[in-house]
Amino acid sequence: MASKKYTLLAAVLVFFQLTSIAQTKTDWGWDWKDSSKVPTKSIPQYNEFLNNQFPYPPKPKSAWELGLSVGNGLIVGDRPLFVKNSFDHNYLGGITAGLSLRKAVGHVLSLRASANYTTVTIPSYKANTSNNLPFSTVKNNSVSASFDALFSLNAASYYRGNPKTDWYLLAGYSLIATQIKTYQNGSYRLANFPDQKTAGTIQDLTLIHGFDFGTGVAFKISPKFNIGLEQKFTAPVFGNDYLDGYKVPGSKNGDIFSYSTIRLNFNLGN
């Protein structure tokens, strides 16, 4: 556990070192005088700008962005977070990793398709219910395909020099294939998914529709690379209280996936 903490601390220090360099070096903005960066349909605006007939240059061509993400995956549900059990096991979440492609459609809006894998081990714990039933140790393995819209919050400052920081909100849809196993008699065994609020099954995977929401920030390091932090939540559209392997009797609160990630983003092409 200590080694994980030191690794995380080192990653955070490297992140802030890189972003501080990005904020102090020479401007990495596009050259508004370079007509090769201007889309064909925007050439009239480009000519008007050069002739002082339009106040702003046209939006430059946007490249596809390839993103790699890794971080902490959590299931926010019935098991208390960051609380140790009688075996001194703490619920700190698991690992999530993903791959994405993003394309801007304007100054404010961009669209992103992504695929993620998440594995979370939830230690056993005594439930806070009237019958005092215990949680078994549970392992949730999930694969998700997402399509999200990202809304830049500082797009209005685009023409006030070259912005190096992009704060954004996101919302979208995920199709999640999830599998739950409980620890019994020395091994993990596949658990039935009793909740009927699902989208079907594929072999031993249960499909769930999810609504994505979250926020993030990206720091431009170079014209081809930026690094960011993102917090994203995925809530089952119809509600589902069994993602952590346990449903509190009488509870109407559904479980939620939480993804806290560091993102490495690379611009493809020009």
Instruction: Answer whether 85's CB lies under 8 Å from 110's CB.
Output: no
User: Is the distance from CB of 266 to CB of 61 less than 8 angstroms?
Assistant: no
pLDDT score at 91: 76
What integer pLDDT is reported at residue 159 of this predicted model?
55
pLDDT class of 28 with cuts at 50, 70, 90: very low
Max mean pLDDT among 35-39, 144-148, 185-189, 254-258 falls in 144-148
CB 38 within 8 A of CB 54: no
Domains of the chain: 62-268 (2.40.160.20)
User: 8: which residues sit within 8 A by CB, 6+ positions away?
Assistant: none
> What is the distance between the alpha carbons of residues 230 and 212, in angstroms, rounded to a whole number?
12
Give the pLDDT of residue 210: 95
Count of CB atoms situated within 10 Å of the CB of 220: 22
What single-letter DSSP state applies at residue 1? -
Residue-wise pLDDT for 98-155, tens only, equals 999 999 887 789 999 999 999 998 887 765 544 444 567 888 999 999 999 999 987 6
Over the chain, what is the mean pLDDT?
79
- Structural element, H or E, at residue 24: helix 2-24
CA separation for the pair 213, 232 (Å, rounded): 6
- Alpha-carbon torsion angle 5, 79, 212, 153, nearest 10: -50
Mean pLDDT confidence for 214-229: 93
225, containing H or E segment: strand 225-236
* pLDDT digits 0-9 by tens, 174-209: 999 999 888 777 778 877 776 667 888 888 888 999
pLDDT band for position 242 (cuts 50, 70, 90): confident
Residue 244 gets which letter from DSSP? T
